[in-house]
Amino acid sequence: MIHAVYPGSFDPVTFGHLDIIQRGAKIFDKVTVAVLINPNKNPLFTVEERVELIREAIKGIPHVEVDSFHGLLIDYMRLKQANTIIKGLRAVSDFEYELQMASINRKLDDDIETFFMMTNNTYSYLSSSIVKEVARHHGSVSDLVPQFVEEALKEKFNTKK
Is 41 among the residues known to form the active site?
yes
3-state SS, 4-59, equals EEEEECCCCCCHHHHHHHHHHHHHCCEEEEEEECCCCCCCCCCHHHHHHHHHHHCC
Domain count, the chain: 1
Residue 67 in any domain: the answer is: yes
Count helices and strands in the chain by DSSP H and E runs: 6, 5
Residue 115 in any domain: the answer is: yes
Q: What does pTM read for this prediction?
A: 0.94
Is 17 among the residues known to form the active site?
yes
Residue 159 in any domain: the answer is: no
Residue 149 in any domain: the answer is: no
Catalytic residue among 17, 30, 50, 132: 17
Residue 84 in any domain: the answer is: yes
Is 59 among the residues known to form the active site?
no
Residue 139 in any domain: the answer is: no
Binding-site members are 9-10, 17, 41, 73, 87-90, 98, 123-129
Show pLDDT as tens, one digit a residue, over the chain (161 residues).
999 999 999 999 999 999 999 999 999 999 999 999 987 888 999 999 999 999 999 999 999 999 999 999 999 999 999 999 999 998 777 888 899 999 999 999 999 999 999 989 888 888 999 999 999 999 999 999 999 999 999 999 986 54
Residue 99 in any domain: the answer is: yes
Binding-site members for ATP are 9-10, 17, 88-90, 98, 123-129
Domain of 13, in residue numbers: 3-121
Domain CATH code at residue 107: 3.40.50.620
Catalytic residue among 30, 50, 128, 132: 128
Residue 148 in any domain: the answer is: no
